[in-house]
A and B are shown apart, each in its own frame.
Chain A
Amino acid sequence: MSTLTEAPPPLTPAAPEQKPPRIRGRWTPYWLLLPGILWLVVFFAAPMVYQASTSVQTGSLEEGYKVTWHFATYWDAVSEYWPQFLRSVAYAASATVLCLLLGYPLAYLIAFRAGRWRNLIMILVIAPFFTSFLIRTLAWKTILADGGPVVGALNTLHVLDVTSWLGWTSGDRVLATPLAVVCGLTYNFLPFMILPLYTSLERIDGRLHEAAGDLYAKPSTVFRKVTFPLSMPGVVSGTLLTFIPATGDYVNASLLGSADTGMIGNVIQSQFLRVLDYPTAAALSFVLMAAILAMVTFYIRKSGTEDLV
């Protein structure tokens, strides 16, 4: 009889039937979706179509534009501005790698080592968001000023000799060089790397580290074999959140760079707002969009985290 009364409690209670509550009115979801989706269709999707059509128009501001299927605009735009395209990708990629290298230790620190300081550090990561990013970017002009302490130190350590030789800086200057632009991009998009990294690191059960250590893994091996693989979703979404906006950015190149560091965003901006050559600007924007979508798709496939989106 005793076994009857000593049945252990179940480890997992019977699976509940998780279903949405019964909903009356099958049109309700469509009413909920309608306003927001309409907004996105009219002001996000439709403009893309308009832009595509603008890119194959010819004409002038005075006489108006007509769709003439003038695909040569694409050829002309790309052959003229390919250096800016390449620069955009190169700068954005460098900034993304730097963000990952700088952001990972901080995200790791917040997730595992911060203890009671965790919330405070989190606030300090997010708080700069509340100061306009333009003001903060301008502050880099002061930090990297010619003859300032940062440049002075780099000069003394002969770092600038190396970077000048690599073409990242020129002479005694950091401002108005590719290094300054990449530095600004890294700075501006660093929180977008840290937050997703933190989110995926924080989900890792701390006991996994202990288990790996218990199974003869050195700390560095624990990181390579356990922590880093488990943080991959954060790495992938962090790199995307950094790379995509960095590629299209023109603020850092304008404020911290020079005419020689122009990115594709600068070109699109000036074609649209100053030169008023709408077909060329639309073609460039369309090419940028296609290029980024292609790169992102390829990247997501490669990293095997398609469920990310």
Chain B
Amino acid sequence: MTTNTTKNQKAATDGGGDVRLAGIGKTYGSFTAVHPLDLTVPEGSFFALLGASGCGKTTTLRMIAGLEEPSSGTVHLGDQDVTALPPYKRPVNTVFQSYALFPHLDIYENVAFGLRRRGIKSVKKQVGEMLDLVQLGEQARKKPHQLSGGQQQRVAVARALINHPKVLLLDEPLGALDLKLRRQMQLELKRIQTEVGITFVHVTHDQEEAMTMADQVAVMNAGRVEQLGAPADLYENPRTTFVANFLGTSNLIEAEVDTRGGEDVVVKAAGDKLVLPGARCSAPAKAGGKVLVGVRPEKISLTHADDAGSIPEGRNRITGTISNTSFIGVSTQYVVDCAACPEFEVYAQNIDRDPRLAPGAEVVLHWNPAHTFGLDAAQDIDAGVAEGEAA
């Protein structure tokens, strides 16, 4: 893989290769697909645009590719303003949704297409190397429809990468594959990105895919970027209810701020007192103000009410009744009916299963206050729930 390393170095010496979107927006008539947004994708990073269908992520991608003209704002690749350039003059390549491989050309010619259009005569060596990189050397003379979905996907990647674009754009590249193949391709794409060191911008509606592959994720909703950050950061510290619900599951409880002292905020929810770190509360926490308190289901421990005495001090606790359980194998999911929240979800690892934890049992839910986050109560508490389920 020496060639890739040299390429990597070359790209690095080209000077700033960041993708910078400044105030870029798109409207169709009276419909705003993308509200003017600013976004910088650092050179060499694996960047994901995550959101439900229709949130504007694909439109944003197509504006970077030049396939869509922005209604406002500019696109910069490094120092170059490419806003006015047509797609065939941009040093950017795209892996299209459902691949868009040319059905009348074989794999070899599909991969060679971009090189030939730029007037490069001897393409044999490059195409061979590229097909080897995606492990399709044997299939060079087949037509696209003779390949499996995963193979087609790799051809689409090879066809784009062979041009050494400054940025590779991937539009739902794994959407058409089945679950197992998707896993495999996620690792494969990550491997290729690490090897070639090109900036990848990846559009997906699959939060798991975005979190596994990307260094940075921008969560989009209704034409706006809701939150930007590293996957773990987004998951642990969602700043909006949409992000909290769309990325995984969150239990959100409406609460009233009781006191704010030192590092911690104390809130009251349906009689229970809960503590959360002030640093993790993105809402203005004034005494008497409303706030949404959130906690992820896997952070919670479940103890039968009879054993409540054994729960250590200093943990947030809520009591309730189990209304439903489902056994998933590695874990068991409980739905607990509490005064503060009628459908409190808890995921417990199946280490030692307590047979008393059945529907109807009285339980105490408890968790480390440090795992609690606070959100602005002015938002829709259910934002992102439906979208998260659809994805």
The reply, when asked whether chain A contacts chain B directly with Cβ atoms under 8 A, is yes
* A residues at B contact (CB < 8 Å): 1-10, 13-17, 21-22, 24
Q: Is the CB of B208 within 8 A of A17?
A: no
How far is A98 from B279 in the complex, measured between Cα atoms in Å?
84
Q: Is the CB of A14 within 8 A of B58?
A: yes
Known interface pairs A4-B208, A16-B58; A10-B175 also in contact (CB < 8 Å): yes
Would you mind naming 17 contact pairs between A and B with Cβ atoms under 8 Å apart?
A2-B328, A2-B329, A2-B330, A3-B328, A3-B333, A3-B347, A4-B208, A7-B391, A10-B205, A10-B390, A13-B97, A13-B98, A13-B175, A14-B97, A17-B58, A22-B69, A24-B86
How far is A1 from B297 in the complex, measured between Cα atoms in Å?
8
Q: Interface SS of chain A: helix, strand, loop or mixed?
A: loop
How far is A148 from B205 in the complex, measured between Cα atoms in Å?
75
Known interface pairs A10-B175, A10-B390, A16-B97; A5-B208 also in contact (CB < 8 Å): yes
Stretch at the interface among B74-82, B154-162, B176-184: B176-184
Interface residue tally for chain B (C-beta within 8 Å): 34
CB of A242 to closest CB in B, whole Å? 36
Is there a chain A Cβ closer than 8 Å to B193's Cβ? no
Q: Is the CB of A15 within 8 A of B53?
A: yes
How far is A3 from B53 in the complex, measured between Cα atoms in Å?
21
Per-residue interface assignment for chain B, residues 301 to 337, with 1 indicating a CB less than 8 Å from any chain A CB and 0 otherwise: 0000000000000000000000000001111010000
Known interface pairs A10-B390, A13-B176, A14-B53; A4-B205 also in contact (CB < 8 Å): no
CB of A31 to closest CB in B, whole Å? 20
CB of A233 to closest CB in B, whole Å? 28
CB neighbors of A among B198-226 (8 A): 205-208
CB closest residue in chain A, given B66: A22
CB closest residue in chain A, given B33: A17
Q: Is the CB of A2 within 8 A of B347?
A: yes
CB closest residue in chain B, given A16: B97
Per-residue interface assignment for chain B, residues 48 to 80, with 1 indicating a CB less than 8 Å from any chain A CB and 0 otherwise: 000011100011001000011100000000000
Residues of A within 8 A of B359 (CB): none
Is there a chain A Cβ closer than 8 Å to B298's Cβ? yes
Known interface pairs A13-B97, A15-B53; A4-B248 also in contact (CB < 8 Å): yes
Is there a chain A Cβ closer than 8 Å to B258's Cβ? no
How far is A9 from B205 in the complex, measured between Cα atoms in Å?
11
Q: Is the CB of A15 within 8 A of B182?
A: no
CB closest residue in chain A, given B330: A2
How far is A21 from B69 in the complex, measured between Cα atoms in Å?
11
Q: Is the CB of B208 within 8 A of A9?
A: no
